[in-house]
Amino acid sequence: MKLFALLPALILPASGLDDIDYGAFTQTATYSVASQLGFFAANGLNVTYLQVPNSTYGYSQLLSGGYDILTGTIDNAVNLRFNANKTLTVLGQLDGGPDLVIASVPNITSVQQLRGKALMVDNAASGYAYVLRKVLSLYGLRLENGDYSFQVVGSTNIRYQYLANGSLPDGTAVYATILTYPFTAEGHALNPPLTVLARISDFINPFASSAFTISEPTLSDNNSRVLYTRFVASFMQASRFLAEPSNANCSIQAIARQLNITTAVAQAEYAAATDSSTGETISNSTFAVNRQGLLNVIDVRDQFSGFASVSQGFSFADAIVVGYGKLIDDSVRLAAMNITPRATANTC
Ligand SMILES: *[C@@H]1O[C@H](CO)[C@@H](O)[C@H](O)[C@H]1NC(C)=O
Ligand SMILES: *[C@@H]1O[C@H](CO)[C@@H](O)[C@H](O)[C@H]1NC(C)=O
Ligand SMILES: *[C@@H]1O[C@H](CO)[C@@H](O)[C@H](O)[C@H]1NC(C)=O
Ligand SMILES: *[C@@H]1O[C@H](CO)[C@@H](O)[C@H](O)[C@H]1NC(C)=O
Ligand SMILES: *[C@@H]1O[C@H](CO)[C@@H](O)[C@H](O)[C@H]1NC(C)=O
Ligand SMILES: *[C@@H]1O[C@H](CO)[C@@H](O)[C@H](O)[C@H]1NC(C)=O
Ligand SMILES: *[C@@H]1O[C@H](CO)[C@@H](O)[C@H](O)[C@H]1NC(C)=O
Ligand SMILES: *[C@@H]1O[C@H](CO)[C@@H](O)[C@H](O)[C@H]1NC(C)=O
Ligand SMILES: *[C@@H]1O[C@H](CO)[C@@H](O)[C@H](O)[C@H]1NC(C)=O
C-alpha cells in the first residue's frame, strides 16, 4: 500500500504539477479566484491561460490538441457539432452570460442610432452575433434589410480595445458591439464611459453561455479524464469560494489582481459574476447545463437560419440529452463534485 502513495511522485514532473493548456475568451471571476488563491495548484495543476483571438481559431485549436480544454459560449459547440459534425463535448456550464450587453461608443446613446452603422462581431455566424441580431430585431433593426452591417474583427477582448479606442487599428470608425464580463464594467469605468444600449438578459433569459468544452475522443483517455476532473474540480472549489458572501473582499482582491483593475471596478465585476440570473454562481457550483438556457441559444440561432447544414428531421431535443458521446457529458463534473483539494488553497 505504501508503494501506491509513492507512485504519483515518480510519475509527476519535478514540480509535482500536471500541465493544462487552457484556452479562454475571458478571465472569468472563477478563474481569477482559482488562479490567484491557488486552487489549481491545490489540485496538482499548472494551468497556462491561452487567450483565444477568435472563435474559429479557438475551436480548431481545441480539436487539434493545441488546447486541452476551452471555455467559450456554448453556441460554438452547438454550431460546430450540429452543423459540422465536429466531435466537441461540453462538460458543464460556467455562467449565464454575466454583463452580456450591447455596448457602444459614448456619443451613441440609443439603439436607433445604430441604423446604417457597422457593428463589430467575432464571426457573422457566431452565437453573440445572433444574439445581437435578435435584440436589434426587437428594436426594428434587421441585418437582412441592410439596417446595419457587420465588421468581423475577433473575440471580445479585441472588440473592447477597438470600442474603447473608437476605431480599428487602420482608423476605421467603430460604433458598437456585444461585450461581456469583464469588459462591460471596465468600459463603464472609462472617461467618458461606453454606453450600454441593451442588456441581453432583458430579452433572452435564461441564457447558457460559457461552457467547459473538450474534444470528445480525449474523454476515452483515462489520463485526460483525470486531468479534466481535477481542472473542473478546481473551478468548482473556486466557485464555492466566490459564492460565499463572507469571502467577498477576498474574491474582489483576486479579481482586481488578476485583471489589473482598481478595487472599485473589481467590485462591479464581482457583482456581475455573482448575479443571480446571469452570473458564474447560478448553478450553485454544480456547473449543470441550464436546459432552458441552451434551448434559448438554439432558438436564437435557428431564427436566423443558423442551422443550415443540419439534416432535415434532426432532433434537437434528442441531441441535447446528456450522455456519453453526446453534446453534453456530465460524468466529469459529477466526479469533480466529490474531489477535495490535496492542499488548502490560500486565503487573502
Ligand atoms: C507551468 O507551465 C509553464 C509553461 O506552460 C512553465 O513555464 C512553468 O515553469 C510551469 N510551472 C510549474 C510550477 O510547473
Ligand atoms: C483568428 O486568429 C488567428 C490566429 O491569431 C488569425 O490568424 C486569424 O486571422 C484570425 N481570424 C480573424 C477572422 O480575425
Ligand atoms: C459524423 O461523424 C461520425 C464520426 O465521428 C460519423 O460516424 C458520422 O457518420 C458523421 N455524420 C455525418 C452526417 O457526417
Ligand atoms: C460619434 O462619433 C463618431 C466619430 O467621431 C462619428 O462618426 C459619429 O457620427 C458620431 N455619432 C453620433 C450619433 O453623433
Ligand atoms: C486607435 O485609433 C486611432 C485612430 O483614431 C488609430 O490610428 C489607432 O491605430 C487605433 N489604435 C488601436 C490599438 O486600435
Ligand atoms: C480507464 O478507466 C476505466 C474506468 O475506471 C477502466 O475500466 C479502464 O480499464 C481504464 N483504462 C485504462 C487503459 O486504464
Ligand atoms: C470589506 O471591505 C470593506 C471596505 O473595503 C469593509 O468596510 C468591510 O468591513 C470588509 N468586509 C469584510 C467581511 O471584511
Ligand atoms: C496595470 O495597470 C496599470 C494602470 O493602468 C499600468 O500602469 C500597469 O502597467 C499595469 N500592469 C500590468 C502588469 O499590466
Ligand atoms: C441553488 O440553490 C438555491 C437555494 O438552495 C435553489 O433555490 C436553486 O434552485 C438552486 N439552483 C440550482 C441551479 O441548483
Tens digits of residue pLDDT in 278-301: 999 999 999 999 999 999 999 999
Q: For a substitution probing ligand 9, which of 282, 284, 290, 291 has the most ligand atoms within 8 Å of its CB?
A: 284
Residue 1 has pLDDT above 50, yes or no: no
Residue 6: pLDDT band (50, 70, 90) is very low
CA–centroid distance, 274 to ligand 1, in Å, is 31
With beta carbons less than 8 A apart as the criterion, state whether 107 and 99 touch.
no
Q: For a substitution probing ligand 7, which of 249, 252, 270, 348 has the most ligand atoms within 8 Å of its CB?
A: 249
Instruction: Give the Cα separation of 93 and 174 in Å (integer).
Output: 32
The finding on whether 292 has its CB within 6 A of some atom of ligand 1 is: no
186 alpha carbon, closest ligand: 8
The finding on whether 106 has its CB within 6 A of some atom of ligand 4 is: no
pLDDT of residue 11: 45
Q: Which ligand 1 atom is the nearest neighbour of the CA of 46?
A: 1
The finding on whether 46 has its CB within 6 A of some atom of ligand 1 is: yes
Contacts of 247 (CB under 8 A, 6+ apart): 241
Residue 31 has pLDDT above 50, yes or no: yes
State what percent of residues in the chain have pLDDT above 90.
93
Q: Which ligand 4 atom is the nearest neighbour of the CA of 105?
A: 1
Mean pLDDT of the chain: 94
Could you give the 3-state DSSP secondary structure of residue 167? strand
Residue 245 has pLDDT above 60, yes or no: yes
Residue 345: pLDDT band (50, 70, 90) is low
With beta carbons less than 8 A apart as the criterion, state whether 292 and 207 touch.
no
CA–centroid distance, 264 to ligand 7, in Å, is 13
Residue 3 has pLDDT above 70, yes or no: no
What is the arithmetic mean of pLDDT over 6-12?
A: 43
Residue 342 has pLDDT above 80, yes or no: no
CA–centroid distance, 93 to ligand 6, in Å, is 26
For helices 222-243 and 248-259, give the axis angle rounded to 10 degrees: 120
- Structural domain 2-95+207-347, CATH architecture: 3-Layer(aba) Sandwich (3.40)
Residue 8 has pLDDT above 70, yes or no: no
pLDDT of residue 320: 98
Residue 217 has pLDDT above 90, yes or no: yes
CB atoms within 10 A of CB 276: 8
What is the arithmetic mean of pLDDT over 176-181?
A: 98
The finding on whether 184 has its CB within 6 A of some atom of ligand 9 is: no
- Selected from 3.50.50.60, 3.40.190.10, 2.30.30.790, 3.40.50.11540, the CATH number assigned to the domain covering 101-202 reads 3.40.190.10
Instruction: Give the Cα separation of 289 and 91 in Å (integer).
Output: 9
Supply the pTM of this predicted model.
0.92
Instruction: Give the Cα separation of 226 and 234 in Å (integer).
Output: 12
- Lay out the sheet containing 88-93: strands in order across: 45-51, 18-24, 69-73, 210-215, 88-93
pLDDT of residue 14: 54
Each residue of 53-108: pLDDT tens digit? 999 999 999 999 999 999 999 999 999 999 999 999 999 999 999 999 999 999 99
Closest-CA residue, ligand 3 atom 10, reads 85
Each residue of 185-198: pLDDT tens digit? 999 999 999 999 99
CA–centroid distance, 30 to ligand 7, in Å, is 20
User: Which residue is it, cell 482559482?
Assistant: 34
Q: What residue spans define the domains of the chain?
A: 2-95+207-347, 101-202
CB atoms within 10 A of CB 47: 22
Residue 7: pLDDT band (50, 70, 90) is very low
**Distances, alpha carbon 102 to alpha carbons 31, 42, 153, 258, 331, in Å:** 24, 38, 16, 25, 35
Higher pLDDT, 3 or 314: 314
Instruction: Give the Cα separation of 15 and 165 in Å (integer).
Output: 42
pLDDT of residue 334: 98
Residue 237 has pLDDT above 50, yes or no: yes
38 alpha carbon, closest ligand: 1
Q: For a substitution probing ligand 5, which of 168, 177, 190 has the most ligand atoms within 8 Å of its CB?
A: 168
pLDDT of residue 5: 41
Domain 2-95+207-347 matches domain 101-202 at the CATH topology level: yes
The finding on whether 48 has its CB within 6 A of some atom of ligand 1 is: yes
How far apart are the two ends of the chain, measured CA to CA in Å? 37
